[in-house]
Amino acid sequence: MDIFSFVNFFLLPGVVQGSIYALGAIGITLIYAIMRYGHFAHGDLATFGAFTALFVAGLLGLSPYAALPVAVVVAALLAIAIDWLFYAHLRRMPKIITTIASFGVALMLRSVVQIIWGVDTTSYTRGISRPENWFGIRVKPHELVTLLVVIGLVIALHLFLTRNKWGKAMRAMSDNPDLALLSGIDNNKVIAMTWVIAGGLCAASGFFLGLNTELRSLMGWNILLPTFAAAILGGVGRIEGAIVGGLVVGVTEELSVLVIPSEYKMLSSFAILLVVLLLRPTGLFRGKIL
Amino acid sequence: MDWLSFTIYPVYLMIFMCIYGCLAIGLNIQWGYAGLFNAGLAGFFAVGAYTSAILTTSEAAGRLGGFDLPFPFGLAGAMIVSGLIAWPVGKICLRFRSDYLAIVTIGVAEAIRLVAKTEDWLTNSARGITGVPRPLGDLPYAQAQLAYLAIVGLILIVVYLLIERQAHAPWGRMMRAIRDNERAAVAMGKNVPVRRLEAFMLGSALMGLAGGLYVHLARTITPDAIDPMLVTFLVWIMVILGGSGNNRGVLLGAVIVWIIWSASEIVTDQLPAEFALKAKYGRMFLIGLLLQIVLRFRPEGLLPEKLRRAPLSEGALSPTGHGARIQAPHKEI
Amino acid sequence: MKLKSLGLAAWLLGTCALATPALAQVNIGLLAGITGGAAAMAPEIIKSYEFAVKQVNDQGGILNGQKLVGNVADSGCKPQVAADAATKLVNVSRVIGIAGPMCSGALLAAANSATIPAGVLLISPAATSPEITTLKDNDLVFRTVPSDEYQGQALARTLLSRGTQTVAVSFINNDYGKGIAAAFKKEFEAKGGKITAFAGHEESKSSYRSDLAELAKGGADTLVLLDYGDTSGLTILREAIENGFFKNFVGAEGMKTSAPIKAFGAENLSTFIASAPIPAKSQALDIFNAAFSKAGGDVNGSYVAPSFDAVFLLALAIEKAGGDKTKLPQSLRAVTSGKGEPIMPGEWKKAKELIAAGKEIDYKGASGSVNFDERGDVPGSYGLFKVSGSDYEVITEMK
């Protein structure tokens, strides 16, 4: 196999897929860090975001890219609403109860998508977009956009967490909740902020997943396992870890067909998860162990 | 039309309630007694179903089998193999907090489904196994259903009595002690990891038993029966609705949820066709909502666990994912 | 607890008794995987089922002017759901025959646990697994779609006769994909063709480029893609065309849906051909297509023709048997024996009159010959199709 086909058919799809996982994994890792439970409705929230973008684009006749910000806002608001309706009153209970509640929310979101948009496979754009050839490297325009937007979002998030007052409050909350509370940080606002970020990124991940392939009602549930694997591989609570974790999981999945039968391709993220839990439960970036 | 035929659907409902009852008791041991979050019930169910199918069917070309063992051996095999599969899973995951166990068990169920779907020599891959015998299955329809209900019901009663006895024995008290206050249990000299693994394996074995009971009812098993929605999620709702920690409660949960699930379709099918189709998705929504309502208003379930003394500060819901107490400072967030 | 369940049983018994239908109608079940893995195909299949029911009712109804009522139920493409739905249809809705379900696993469970013990006739329009052929069914399970075994072989022979000697095969890892791929491989290699790569894939992954790169390594320029055109098959086809892994694409009936045309446009599908268990040319199919598209149906929906046939045959068998459940299988064989006055799809009135007059009839299915063999399978006649405009067009007949 020459270097170009390796890059074109294994590395590049892996990186695109990985950055989609990374967007989801950032949300999961933030929720873990600040609220300390695994959020299993994340995949289905991504599905909802993707379909919202489809709906908005169709309604206003916009290009799907223009619909993305709307979908991000809608999903962010929805995430706050879900927290307020279903999770807020469970905060004093053991965290695992909220995890169970999030399974129920996943189910509800999925059936809402299926009731409103049905179960047919759809896509944002009609037609075929042939990749452009850059000195032998073949990139499709929407792949390039995916990578650029993901990089942009990550930089924005990083600036927010390091420069903004609320971003700093979130980090404080993640590092030491008691100290954060004592120093007067408003718990509820930080939680709302976390949901806005997690929900928005989640919608973006669903959108890009739909943009690079098709939209299906189960698309989000199917990326839940790799997304969690990415978050745990990176180290729970570590944003940079979630990004690296996402990329590693994405590329590994694509490379796995070289060594294992492709029927078992889906299991490569699971294998990564097991190896991390066995050998280095703190993840690559020394995250928390919950 | 003879009157016996009218009993078939209710009897069928009750057979499924018993199978789900078995799953619910298995999950209750893991979650209610030991605080372990298993989100891969479907995997252990499938292992049981396939094991019993392979052990009791006659020779078939291309796949493992031809043992032709009687029904009880199939069920015993189902329990043993499911319990054994649970061992490495528990070994790896029980060290961590329970949501890690949840994501890993989701992965385990997925792995089991893929193996069942791909390996020709073991499970005849995607085509599945047919011709699984059912005890007394040659009787006429209604009688055969009644006979199978009697068998399944009897097995469930035996399981229930044995588990209840175990729960009230020192073993059960010890499990609850570990669940509610792990550090105290360690201080008392209890071997916590081993006990947890025991509970995990025992619960998984019961899930395997349920799989075995299912496969002899359906007489066939294909990989698409391994469904997280139908097997894993419904059982969770049953346990939480009924009352985790209380075997009678989870059985009640199994009865209620299965009736809502199966019989609600009779009602929605009366709607105009377009709505009837949408309603099929709607009932998943309702099941999800039911879970939220229970967690909101009656988190201890319909029949709460009976404790000799008032529960501690955690409130009435006693299973505390393990490690929660160690993390006491974080609890307030 | 015991009292409770007794009360419950009594309540259920009551509901069931109440739900017993009035005698002025004849109930049949229409099972389809409305939820679950094959849900995308279900709407058109149900439309086709109900179209057949409507034709019967519009032309004088069944038996003595009674109404034929189709009870739609969800088989979920899952054994448990299908068995539950079939039990309800048989014992609560009290149907005397069922069309469906779509998925083979669902069919096996529904047949074993409900319809065979209850003696209810079941005709599936879409379950293609060879396992169904060998089911011990007391002559109660039929299907209007041929087993995958035949189609895989026919596809192999047709490709070789068209001069395609070297192919790579990619199939969806389920009963459908695996069955048809195995049959194709056996026949293709036995007749001298060369398969450079043969791999299954899971559905619902978002990228298959690495799979495709592996498949393309052997140097074949034709990809045989045995998958569904509205799930992973669509993704693979898209990625294969976009990246130029292969030049020619061959699918089976799962791929022959409107989805690829809608998603890519016909201009990108000039090298895509697909086989389907639909006769290349038949008067029956033309009649059905015209009527079904007039009624708002999509004639390229997967399995719509066999679905129509399943319900129409069920109705004919009920008419012939005079509504007697126990005589349904033999009546079904009687109306498809190949002897007697030919009946085209939708010719209910004519069929009814002939049956009343005691004459032999032979139904000509929209999906081809429906002369069942002793195991309830149909021999299958196939056509090879290419994309033309927004539709599929026959290239040749397959043997």
Q: Does B143 touch chain C (CB under 8 A)?
A: no
Nearest residue to C251 via CA among C169, C174, C195, C196: C169
Could A17 and C202 be called an inter-chain contact, meaning their C-beta atoms sit closer than 8 Å?
A: no
Could A266 and C202 be called an inter-chain contact, meaning their C-beta atoms sit closer than 8 Å?
A: yes
- Into how many domains does chain B fold? 1
Contact partners, residue B76, CB within 8 Å, separation at least 6: none
Partner B, chain A 133-172, Cβ-Cβ below 8 Å:
none
Kindly list the partner chains of chain B, i.e. chains with 3 or more CB atom pairs below 8 Å: A, C
**Residue C229 phi, psi dihedral angles, 5° rounding:** -70, -5
- Into how many domains does chain A fold? 1
> For A164-192, what is the mean pLDDT?
87
Q: What is the pLDDT of residue C344?
A: 93
Structure tokens at B136: 């007394």
Judging by beta carbons within 10 Å of its beta carbon (0-12, 13-18, 19+), is residue A139 exposed, middle or buried?
A: middle
CA nearest B288 in A: which residue? Answer: A104
Q: Is residue B149 part of a domain?
A: yes
- Compare A183 and B53 and report the one with higher pLDDT: B53
| Contact yes or no for A39/A197 (Cβ under 8 A) | no
SS3 of residue A184 by DSSP: coil
Nearest residue to B74 via CA among B101, B96, B52: B52
Return the amino acid letter for C165.
Q
Q: What is the pLDDT of residue A290?
A: 61
Q: What share of chain C is helix, strand, coil (3-state, %, to 5)?
A: 45, 20, 35
Q: Is residue B158 part of a domain?
A: yes
Q: Is residue A285 part of a domain?
A: no
Q: Is residue B244 part of a domain?
A: no
Q: Does A279 touch chain B (CB under 8 A)?
A: no
Q: Pick from C210, C230, C241: which is nearest to A9 by CB?
A: C210
CATH hierarchy code of domain C2-146+285-363: 3.40.50.2300
Q: Is residue B222 part of a domain?
A: yes
**Among B3, B127, B214, the residue to mutate for chain C (most C Cβ within 10 A):** B127
Torsion over CA: B68, B74, B76, B78 (sign): positive
**Which chain C residues contact residue B277 at CB under 8 A?**
34, 43, 46, 72
| Contact yes or no for C302/C126 (Cβ under 8 A) | yes
Could B114 and A278 be called an inter-chain contact, meaning their C-beta atoms sit closer than 8 Å?
A: no
> For A259-286, what is the mean pLDDT?
89
Find out whether the peptide bond into A13 is cis, omega within 30 degrees of 0: no
Nearest residue to C381 via CA among C390, C368, C394: C368
Q: Does B264 touch chain C (CB under 8 A)?
A: no
d(CA B110, CA A226): 12
Q: A124-128, B292-296, C333-337: which range is least confident on average?
A: A124-128
Q: Is residue A142 part of a domain?
A: no
Q: What is the pLDDT of residue C17?
A: 46
d(CA A61, CA B69): 65
C249 forms beta bridges with C223, C272
> For A112-123, what is the mean pLDDT?
85
Nearest residue to C133 via CA among C150, C152, C120: C150
Torsion over CA: B171, B157, C112, B275 (sign): negative
Query: What is the tens place of the pLDDT at every residue in B114-125?
Result: 999 888 899 888
Q: Is residue A43 part of a domain?
A: yes
Q: Is residue B242 part of a domain?
A: no
Q: Is residue B237 part of a domain?
A: no
Q: Does A97 touch chain B (CB under 8 A)?
A: yes
Could B6 and C84 be called an inter-chain contact, meaning their C-beta atoms sit closer than 8 Å?
A: no
Q: Pick from A108, A178, A289: which is nearest to B289 by CB?
A: A108
**Among A115, A120, A264, the residue to mutate for chain C (most C Cβ within 10 A):** A120
SS3 of residue B1 by DSSP: coil
| Contact yes or no for C282/C302 (Cβ under 8 A) | no
Comma-separated ranges of CATH 3.40.50.2300 domains in chain C:
2-146+285-363, 149-276+381-398
Task: Report whether pLDDT(B315) > 60.
Answer: no
Q: What is the pLDDT of residue B15?
A: 95
User: Which value does ipTM take for this structure?
Assistant: 0.89
| Contact yes or no for C70/C22 (Cβ under 8 A) | no
> Where do the DSSP E strands lie in chain C?
25-32, 67-74, 97-99, 121-124, 141-143, 166-172, 194-201, 222-226, 248-251, 272-276, 341-343, 361-363, 382-388, 391-398
CA nearest A223 in C: which residue? Answer: C205
Under CATH, domain C149-276+381-398 is a member of which superfamily?
Response regulator (3.40.50.2300)
Confidence band, pLDDT 50/70/90 cuts, at residue C352: very high
Radius of gyration of chain C (CA): 22
Confidence band, pLDDT 50/70/90 cuts, at residue C22: very low
- DSSP state letter for C372: -
CA nearest A15 in C: which residue? Answer: C207
For residue A134, the surrounding DSSP H or E stretch is strand A132-134
Q: What is the pLDDT of residue A1?
A: 66
Q: Are strands C222-226 and C361-363 parallel, antiparallel or unpaired?
A: unpaired
Q: Is residue A151 part of a domain?
A: no
Q: Is residue B263 part of a domain?
A: no
Could you tell me if residue C311 is left (phi over 0), alpha (psi between -120 and 50 degrees) or otherwise beta?
alpha
Nearest residue to C302 via CA among C282, C270, C277, C273: C277
For residue B156, the surrounding DSSP H or E stretch is helix B141-168
Query: What is the tens place of the pLDDT at every residue in B216-257?
Result: 999 999 998 888 888 898 999 999 999 988 999 999 999 999
Could you tell me if residue B85 is left (phi over 0), alpha (psi between -120 and 50 degrees) or otherwise beta?
alpha
Q: Is residue B317 part of a domain?
A: no
Q: Which domain holds residue A193?
A: 3-120+166-279
Structure tokens at A95: 């965290």
**Which chain A residues contact residue C199 at CB under 8 A?**
261-262
Query: What is the tens place of the pLDDT at every residue in B91-149?
Result: 888 887 677 888 899 999 999 999 998 888 998 888 889 889 999 888 888 899 999 99
Could A257 and C40 be called an inter-chain contact, meaning their C-beta atoms sit closer than 8 Å?
A: no
Query: What is the tens place of the pLDDT at every residue in C41-79?
Result: 888 899 999 999 999 999 999 988 899 999 988 888 889
